[in-house]
C-alpha cells in the first residue's frame, strides 16, 4: 500500500506556544485512522497545517508524494484533501441538493443529478433534498457537510470531530457512515475524535497527540494499555 499523506517534522508556534511540535505522521491509501488527544493537544492545528489554513514554521506536508506545504487552501482541496470543519460548515440559506451541487467544484461532474441522489442516499438525506439547509437539525447538518466533502471527489478526507453535539444514535450512524465511505468509495479518512466509544466503533488505528507531538499510535486496545496515554488523556 502506498502512503497518501506524510508530514515530516511539522512545527507551528503561536506566540511562544508550540501547537505542533515536530509531527511525523503518515497514512496509507484507502485507510481509516483516528487522531485523539486532550483539548489543546494540537489536533485542529494539525488539520489546519495539512489543509493550508495555516503555514507551518518548518517541516513539510506531502500528498501522494508531492510537497504541498505552503499551497493555498483551495489548491490543496483541489488536489483531493478535503476537510470537514468541527462546527457544521454548510450553506445555510440554500437547499440541501444545491449545497451538494456547489461542492462538485469548478469542473462540475458528469450527470450531476444522479450523483446528487447517490450522495444524498449515502448520507441519508435523500428525503430532505429540497429543504433549506439551515433548517436541518444539527446531526443532519453534519451529515450534509460530509456529503459535500464526498461530492468534491477527495482522495483523503479530514473529519474534525464529526460527532460533536450528536446524540448517541446519531453518533453511531455517523460511525457506520464513515466506515462505509472508507470501504465503498476507497477514500482515506483521518478523523479527530473525543468520544472513545465512537473511536472503538470505528475500529481503526489510533494516533494520540499530546502537547503538539505524537505520544503513541497503534490499535485502540494497545493505546488504552499505554501508561503514558492513560496519564495524559484517559485520566486513569
Instruction: Tell me whether residue 49 or residue 77 sits nearer to other proteins (CB atom).
Output: 77
Burial code of 13-26, b = ≥16 C-beta within 10 A, e = fewer? eeeeebbbbebebe
- For the CB of residue 148, give the shortest distance to other proteins in the complex, in Å: 7
Q: Does 174 bind other proteins (CB under 8 A)?
A: no
According to the binding rule CB under 8 A, does residue 73 interact with other proteins?
yes
One of 19, 77, 178, 209 touching other proteins (CB under 8 A)? 77
- Dist. CA 228–CA 235, nearest whole Å: 10
CB of 98 to other proteins, least distance (A): 7
What is the closest distance, in whole angstroms, from the C-beta atom of residue 72 to other proteins in the complex? 8
| Residue 163 interacting with other proteins (CB under 8 A) | no
164 binds other proteins (CB under 8 A): no
Distance CA 117, CA 128 (A): 11
Helix (H) or strand (E) holding 156: strand 156-160
Per CB under 8 A, the list member of 92, 113, 219, 230 interacting with other proteins is: 92
190 phi/psi in degrees, rounded to 5? -115, 125
Nearer to other proteins, 12 or 83 (CB): 83
Ramachandran bin of 101, using left for φ above 0, alpha for ψ from -120 to 50, beta for the remaining angles: alpha
Q: Which residue matches cell numbers 505522521?
A: 25
Measured distance CA(189)–CA(178) in Å, rounded: 8
Between 94 and 214, name the residue whose CB sits nearer to other proteins. 94
Which segments of 32-190 does DSSP mark as H helices, in order? 43-51, 73-79, 96-103, 112-122, 138-151, 168-184
Contact between 82 and other proteins per CB under 8 A: yes
Tell which one of 8, 11, 30, 98 touches other proteins (CB under 8 A).
Answer: 98
- Residue 18 binds other proteins (CB under 8 A): no
Footprint on this chain of other proteins (rule: CB under 8 A): 51, 72-74, 77-78, 82-83, 85, 89-94, 98, 101-103, 105-106, 108, 145, 148, 152
Amino acid at each position: 500500500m502506498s502512503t497518501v499523506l506524510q508530514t515530516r517534522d511539522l512545527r507551528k508556534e503561536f506566540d511562544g506556544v508550540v501547537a505542533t511540535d515536530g509531527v511525523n505522521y503518515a497514512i496509507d491509501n484507502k485507510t481509516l485512522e483516528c487522531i485523539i488527544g486532550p483539548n489543546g493537544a494540537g489536533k485542529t492545528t494539525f488539520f489546519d497545517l495539512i489543509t493550508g489554513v495555516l503555514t507551518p514554521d518548518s517541516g513539510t506536508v506531502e500528498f501522494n508524494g508531492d510537497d504541498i506545504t505552503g499551497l493555498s487552501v483551495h489548491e490543496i482541496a483541489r488536489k483531493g484533501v478535503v476537510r470537514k470543519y468541527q462546527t457544521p460548515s454548510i450553506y445555510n440559506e440554500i437547499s440541501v441538493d444545491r449545497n451538494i451541487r456547489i461542492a462538485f467544484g469548478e469542473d462540475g461532474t458528469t450527470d450531476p443529478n444522479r450523483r446528487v441522489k447517490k450522495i444524498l442516499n449515502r448520507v441519508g438525506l435523500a428525503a430532505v433534498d429540497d429543504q433549506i439547509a439551515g433548517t436541518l437539525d444539527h446531526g443532519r447538518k453534519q451529515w450534509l457537510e460530509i456529503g459535500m466533502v464526498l461530492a468534491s471527489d477527495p482522495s483523503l478526507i479530514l473529519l474534525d470531530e464529526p460527532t460533536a453535539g450528536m446524540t448517541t444514535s446519531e453518533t453511531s450512524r455517523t460511525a457506520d457512515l464513515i466506515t462505509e465511505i472508507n470501504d465503498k468509495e476507497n477514500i482515506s479518512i483521518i478523523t479527530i475524535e473525543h468520544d472513545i466509544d465512537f473511536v472503538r466503533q470505528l475500529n481503526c488505528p489510533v494516533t494520540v497527540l499530546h502537547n503538539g507531538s505524537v505520544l503513541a499510535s497503534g490499535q485502540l486496545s494497545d493505546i488504552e494499555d499505554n501508561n503514558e496515554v492513560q496519564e495524559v488523556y484517559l485520566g486513569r
